[in-house]
Amino acid sequence: MQRSSEPIFNVPPVILWLSAAMALVHGVRAFLTHDQNIQVLLWFSFIPARYDPDVAAIIKFPGGIGADIWTFVTYAFLHAEIVHISVNLVWLLAFGSPVAWRFGTWRFLAFFAVSAAVSAAAYLLLHPGETAPVIGASGAISAAMAAACRFVFADGGPMFLRGRDRGVYRLPALPLLQSLKNRQVIVFVGAWFLFNLLFGVSSVSSGITESPVAWEAHVGGFLAGLFLFRFFDPVPRTVAGVPLAPSNEDEET
């Protein structure tokens, strides 16, 4: 009998490298002193107070304009505790993998960075002047969840064909409003919002996690994944099964 040459784990290399980078950062921080960890947070976490002139006049944040920019992305590589990073890596593996197979390495990295920045911006909008640092890849992973639901529920898509044919990740996606007519997509989106609302409220009120959950960043990332999917998707879209080339127009109804 001929042995299969397929790997046991069908994971895109970019997902493995992102996971390794997050794990490495978390591992290194475990050996830092408390004061050193504070410096890491000041340099690389997302702190809304950086952008409040009144607060910034009192607290001198390091990094200057550079940190004002790079922290919109670097915060995603920092995590609070082992449970935090473990959960994020599981969700990145589950939902980032199909999106990475579809987008390719460089498109996925750009998508990850942009959605992380949008997540941070959403949190900043609702928490101006907040001094507590925001850390974790949950916002960008939420965007991957939203992007995945744009195509995995399609007929013949990855949700239904569990083989290792990567062609299932390249099936054309319907425009957003048409995809939202799919019952499975509606259930997924509704369940996601309900779960995040309940988890965010319960974690704050009962102390389930060591740090408050920035659920607003999750929502910002998820919406970014839904609406920005088409700008990163290399596969021509369809309307009623007819392929369309990507364009710069608003999403069709």
pLDDT at 58: 87
What gap in Å lies between CA 188 and CA 157, rounded to an integer? Answer: 16
- The more confidently predicted of residues 188 and 202 is 188
pLDDT exceeds 70 at position 18 = yes
What gap in Å lies between CA 87 and CA 82, rounded to an integer? Answer: 9
CATH of 13-240, one of 1.10.287.130, 1.20.1540.10, 1.10.630.10, 1.10.1530.10: 1.20.1540.10
What gap in Å lies between CA 199 and CA 170, rounded to an integer? Answer: 33
- The more confidently predicted of residues 111 and 80 is 111
pLDDT exceeds 50 at position 173 = yes
What gap in Å lies between CA 145 and CA 97, rounded to an integer? Answer: 10
What gap in Å lies between CA 217 and CA 225, rounded to an integer? Answer: 12
Mean pLDDT of all residues belonging to the chain: 83
The lowest-confidence range among 109-118, 125-134, 138-147 is 125-134
What gap in Å lies between CA 117 and CA 183, rounded to an integer? Answer: 30
134 in Cβ contact with 45 (< 8 Å): yes
Q: Please, what sign has the CA dihedral across residues 146, 84, 34, 129?
A: positive
Residues paired with 242 in a beta bridge: 239
